[in-house]
Amino acid sequence: MIKRQSKWIALLVVVAFAWMTHLSVMPLAAASGETTVAAGEGTEPNFVEVADKAPVKAKPKSALPYILIGVGAVALAVVLLVVLKKTTYDITGSWTLQWKENGETTYRTVQANFTGTKESGTVSGFYGDSGPYTVDGKKVSWVLSSYDANFAWTGQFDTKDTMSGTMTLPSEDLQGTWIATRGVPTTALPGQPKEIAGSKGWKK
């Protein structure tokens, strides 16, 4: 809904800006400065002197069109900036996620499946663990609440098909980093050494 409204607002601002630009270039109405000279006045000695002393003043040009153009230009720039900057990142689908604890040199691999909308839903596939996820612009976060309510993963989209971030599990003093690539099968990446995994797949 917000995206559709932003597009309409941008279109409205563009049309209004074009209309105000058109108004600004239109000539203003000429000042009514016609003077009727009675017969014989032009021959009076002081006729030229009177005309010189009281010239017809041109009506000052209004600054309103320029003000409106300035306001319209600023509004247009703001709207376009918001619309263009609001890139939509879609997290839904299958991702191959690799993670490692701080101090480790190699990544372990898990499959992450995001089911829901672009903004929120459920992530699963972490050796059977799952939890809620949220997306705010480029920022992403989820918690594997089925394993531990504080097992938090946070990060951001690096591109539309890659993500990276950090993960923490305070109850086990675990901290680490992760990277994710959309749709890459786990068989194409280094596997998880099962012998060092706990009952849920996480190192204990």
Burial of 145 from C-beta contacts in 10 A (0-12 / 13-18 / 19+): middle
- What CATH number matches the domain at 93-196, 2.40.128.80, 3.20.20.140, 3.40.50.620, 2.40.30.260? 2.40.128.80
pLDDT at residue 36 is higher than 50: no
pLDDT on residue 59: 66
What is the pLDDT averaged over residues 22-41? 51
Instruction: Indicate yes or no: pTM above 0.85.
Output: no
User: In this predicted structure, what is the pLDDT of residue 45?
Assistant: 53
- Over residues 107-120, the mean pLDDT reads 95
Question: Tokens 């996480």 appear where?
Answer: 202
Residue 22, judged by CB atoms within 10 A of its CB (0-12, 13-18, 19+), counts as exposed
CA 84 to CA 90: how far, in whole Å? 16
Name the residue with tokens 């879609």: 90
Token pair belonging to 28: 């203003």
Report the distance separating Cα 116 and Cα 142, nearest Å.
Answer: 13
Residue ranges covered by each domain of the chain: 2-85, 93-196
Averaged confidence pLDDT in the chain: 74
Is the pLDDT at 170 greater than 60? The verdict is: yes
Tokens of 79: 């709207």
How far apart are the C-alpha atoms of 184 and 131, rounded to whole Å?
22
Strands of the chain, DSSP E: 93-101, 108-116, 120-126, 129-136, 139-143, 152-159, 162-169, 174-182
